[in-house]
């Protein structure tokens, strides 16, 4: 479905954000991409969504293949047509538009009837959005905005959904809710999912496989179960409490020499 090979991405010609990342998402699979701030997670999302040029970034080396087609330098419109929808970080909805208008914008490729049905489906799933459907989306709560974004993504009729940090800035209870919704949607629609998260604990519950990214490289790859059993991942990405500061520092150093 999605395969990334040895991807190297650089910003403004000098800042190396991805340093040879390879990653796969299979048909119907849910994969998490974990890692701390600045690991390159969002750069990867931008690259596969074709939005890198908008951020003054460039692919130095490597390949992105989408649904069996070369898509490294494809434009965002073409990528979206192929069936990949990325929800970028930072709640990228249209704040001055109402939820109804946001959904209209997202469903721009649908014929009017399908758009109407799609909207009704979204509103049926998220009744809170229906109540506030004519208010400016900028005034919705964080959780409601996240739900709206999921609804918008659905109306693009994706086969592969990429979600960048949906948990950011949400209360822990809401994080769980968002993850559950993602999981339910994925199963219901038969989507593949690439979930990019800092909140590893939340993400691990809903995915099959895990990649951990650090400083532009994949430092761990395995099933969700393996990730939970792995000492390093557990201690440093799930934030086990008994880890002391000194150990954490030693771990960081070791990883940097890899």
Query: Judged by CB, which is closer to other proteins: 52, or 213?
Result: 52
Distance, in Å, from the CA atom of 192 to the CA atom of 122, rounded to the nearest integer, reads 19
Nearer to other proteins, 98 or 227 (CB): 98
Chain-centre distance of CA 136, in angstroms? 25
CB of 255 to other proteins, least distance (A): 31
Whole-number Å distance between alpha carbons of 130 and 146: 14
Q: C-beta of 145: minimal distance to other proteins in Å? A: 9
Q: Provide the binding-site residues for other proteins, judged by CB under 8 A.
A: 49-51, 53-54, 56, 76-77, 79-81, 85-88, 92-97, 101-102, 104-106, 108-109, 136, 138-139, 152, 156
* Distance in Å, CB of 101 to other proteins, minimum: 5
Q: How far is CA 4 from the centre of its chain?
A: 15
C-beta closer to other proteins: residue 81 or 189: 81
Pair 22, 218: CB distance under 8 Å: yes
Task: Give DSSP secondary structure letters for 152-164.
Answer: HHHHT--SEEEEE
Q: How far is the CB of 113 from other proteins (least distance, A)?
A: 13
- Give the separation between CA 93 and CA 5, rounded to whole angstroms: 30
Q: Are strands 2-11 and 15-25 parallel, antiparallel or unpaired?
A: antiparallel
**Is the Cβ of residue 92 or residue 172 nearer to other proteins in the bound state?**
92
For the CB of residue 64, give the shortest distance to other proteins in the complex, in Å: 15
Which residue number, 54 or 249, has a Cβ lying nearer to other proteins? 54
Quote the tokens at residue 136.
Answer: 């400016």
């Amino acid at each position: 479905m999605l395969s990334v090979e040895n991807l190297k991405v650089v910003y403004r010609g000098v800042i190396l954000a991805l340093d040879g990342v390879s990653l796969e998402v299979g048909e119907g699979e849910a994969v998490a991409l974990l890692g701390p701030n600045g690991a390159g997670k969002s750069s990867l999302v931008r690259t596969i969504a074709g939005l890198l040029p908008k951020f003054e970034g460039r692919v130095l080396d490597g390949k992105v293949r989408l649904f069996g087609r070369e898509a490294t330098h494809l434009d965002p419109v073409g990528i979206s047509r192929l069936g990949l929808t990325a929800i970028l970080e930072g709640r990228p909805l249209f704040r001055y538009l109402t939820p109804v208008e946001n959904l209209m914008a997202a469903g721009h490729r649908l014929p009017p009837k399908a758009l109407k049905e799609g909207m009704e489906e979204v509103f049926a799933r998220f009744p809170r959005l229906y109540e506030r459907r004519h208010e400016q989306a900028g005034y919705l709560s964080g959780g409601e905005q996240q739900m709206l974004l999921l609804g918008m993504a659905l109306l693009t009729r994706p086969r592969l959904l990429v979600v960048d940090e949906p948990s950011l800035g949400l209360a822990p209870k809401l994080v769980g809710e968002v993850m559950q919704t993602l999981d339910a949607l994925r199963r219901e629609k038969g989507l593949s999912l690439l979930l990019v998260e800092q909140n590893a604990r939340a993400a691990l519950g809903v995915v099959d496989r895990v990649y951990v990214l650090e400083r532009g490289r994949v430092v761990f790859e395995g099933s969700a179960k393996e990730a939970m059993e792995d000492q390093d991942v557990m201690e440093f990405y799930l934030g086990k409490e008994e880890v002391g500061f000194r150990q954490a520092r030693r771990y960081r150093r070791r990883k940097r020499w890899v």
